[in-house]
Amino acid sequence: MTIHIGAAKEDIAETVLLPGDPYRAKWAAETFLQDVRLINETRGMLGFTGTWNGNRVTIQGSGMGMPSLSIYVNELIRDYDAKTLIRIGSCGGMQEQVKLRDVIVAMTASTLSTPSRGIFKELNFAPCADWGLLRAAVQAAEAKGTDTHVGGIYSSDVFYDERPDLNEQMVRHGILGVEMEAAELYNLAARHGRRALAVLTVSDHLLTGESMPSDQRERSFGDMVEIALEAAFA
């Protein structure tokens, strides 16, 4: 048990999926896992452990933004010895070829700032995914026939940024989509020698203004969860 996770050490699996929304964690666990147990509800941030194809998996909500994710990932690694951590969540598309409901597998995550900034000081560290997980996720997506894009994303440290000039540069440099967590996940995984990946579903689009209706989001996120699970145990 930690300050933010009320689970016993043996309740957390070595493989952890990290949706930001605790209710998405509940939906994913009940939809894709067997023998599911609620193992955390501290501060309303739900966590579940079950099995997928005989493999133990924990799905733990991480909240919105890098500061929140940093708390949960630090505790999952330091106190529960999680080995593989995969963020699953939504993102905004930033390239014309990226469409609503497409999946993005994040190879790198650019950012202006993360909670690790104080550690890195003047270093502009380049957060990147674990190659083995990345390769396995791409292979799983190809096998499913899912429309998938692989490349760099932008992890924003604010939601309402009022920076059209910054978005313009992201688009210019080929950034596929924007979200708010992956860069710090990759930082922490690198620091502690763990495997990390972000698999994201495009729920809205910064160029076209399109947005997926809320009642369609969960149904459209199934491919993302399956790709993450298959990559974790490839």
In the annotated binding site, the residues are: 4, 20, 24, 43, 87-90, 179-181, 203-204
3-state SS assignment for residue 123: coil
Mean pLDDT for the stretch of residues 69-92: 97
Which residues are 91's β-sheet partners?
202
Summarised one tens digit per residue, pLDDT across range 11-48 is 999 999 999 999 999 999 999 999 999 999 999 999 99
CA distance 138 to 82: 23
Our answer to whether residue 204 is catalytic in this structure is yes
Over residues 153-207, the pLDDT tens digits come to: 999 989 898 888 999 999 999 999 999 999 999 999 999 999 999 999 999 999 9
Say yes or no to pLDDT of 214 above 90: no
Residues 6+ apart with CB under 8 A from 87: 17, 18, 19, 62, 69, 181, 182, 185, 196, 197, 198, 199, 200
User: Which DSSP symbol is given to 75?
Assistant: H
Query: With pLDDT > 70 as the criterion, what percentage of the chain qualifies?
Result: 99
With 70 as the cut, is the pLDDT of residue 219 above it? no
Higher pLDDT, 149 or 121: 149
Nearest C-alpha neighbor of 199 from the set 144, 126, 160, 125: 144
Annotated binding site for phosphate, which residues?
Answer: 20, 24, 43, 87-90
- 165, 204, 215, 223: which one is catalytic? 204
What top-level class would CATH report for the domain 9-232?
alpha beta
Provide the pairing of β-strand 15-18 with 55-60: parallel
